[in-house]
Amino acid sequence: MKKNHCPILYKKRIKHLISDVRHCLPGMLLCAIFLSAMTAAAGKVCPARLLLGIPCPGCGLTRATVLLLKGDIHGSLLCNPFLLPLLAGGVLFLYEHYVLERKARLFSVYIAVCIFLMVVFYIIRMKYWFPDRPPMIYEPHNLLHLLFTVLKSPGGL
């Protein structure tokens, strides 16, 4: 039996989505400004790499996204295989939150598992790839190294 869909329900969902986007816009704008400023000032997007010189568990996600947008799925998976599961998590969130109209409980569990697996994968990559294989390379021009260099120099700060 075919369900009758009421246009009012669609309008309600669209209003809900627009409301959520409005609430997220300031944070998204701040993130965009931060990433643009980091790239312009330091040539790097990752705060961990800029501050400490080491990659973070999300290392390679930006490169993976660019490669995926270019159609290079294999290259994307090599940079960071968690991009596709994270994108699938986004779709799961949209489905749970806007189609089923419930709190995204399944999404929360899914993302927690993804983050756990990302950390495990990060530890493995740090053991076998760091510091020689991109994207798991050491950045010698980091702020912590600069600070120690200044402190060790005669006269210090």
- Whether 104 maps to a domain, the answer reads yes
Residue 125, CB-side half-sphere exposure with 13 Å CA sphere: 23
* 116-143 pLDDT tens trace: 999 999 999 999 988 888 888 888 888 8
- Whether 10 maps to a domain, the answer reads no
Q: How confident is the model at residue 20 (pLDDT cuts 50, 70, 90)?
A: confident
- Whether 131 maps to a domain, the answer reads yes
Does residue 120 or residue 31 have the better pLDDT?
120
Which backbone phi and psi does 54 adopt, to 5 degrees? -110, 155
Domain ranges, residue 59: 44-152
- Whether 68 maps to a domain, the answer reads yes
In whole angstroms, what is the distance from residue 28 CA to residue 156 CA?
39
> pTM higher than 0.75 for the full model?
no
> What is the structure's pLDDT at 85?
95
Task: Check pLDDT > 70 for residue 3.
Answer: no
- Whether 118 maps to a domain, the answer reads yes
- Whether 23 maps to a domain, the answer reads no
Domain count, the chain: 1
- Whether 134 maps to a domain, the answer reads yes
- Whether 18 maps to a domain, the answer reads no
